Homo-oligomer: A and B are copies of this chain.
């Protein structure tokens, strides 16, 4: 029995150290349920689809974030930055103290570390983007207060 356990351990070790780790890993579309964006971090209807986790090799979580018209993140910062790749629709991004900017499909946005900002859909159109959020000390986002309607759309 003890021997069997030792063999099982050995197989598990070899599996994680060489076999498994060296096999191409395909995560199929919609194999993980979508996650509704929490009320404390978002305004309006937001859905997050996790795509790939942070690992020693990626150093970042990768996900698809979909915003309904009018929906947006709260103000926040990223301790190690974030890369956004707009997939569909039309969105807005705003850095604190600067003008709001329109983002469209194919646009790529780099959010530097520790830069206070928000992003989301425009008032009349939804928007989705891939988000690559880099980890620092186990964290990839620091949430602040909500974006008011006046801040979101001053027009």
Confirm or deny: A132 has a beta carbon within 8 angstroms of a beta carbon on chain B: yes
Residues of A111-132 contacting chain B, CB below 8 A: 111-115, 117, 130, 132
Residues of A15-36 contacting chain B, CB below 8 A: 21-30
A110–B52 touching, CB < 8 Å: yes
Contacts of A30 in B (CB 8 A): 106
Q: A62-B85, A80-B57, A81-B57 are in contact. Are A115 and B29 (CB under 8 A)?
A: no
Q: A24-B93, A93-B24, A130-B130 are in contact. Are A83 and B112 (CB under 8 A)?
A: no
Confirm or deny: A44 has a beta carbon within 8 angstroms of a beta carbon on chain B: no
Confirm or deny: A151 has a beta carbon within 8 angstroms of a beta carbon on chain B: no
A residues at B contact (CB < 8 Å): 21-30, 51-52, 57-59, 62, 80-81, 83, 85-86, 93, 95, 98, 101, 103-115, 117, 130, 132, 134
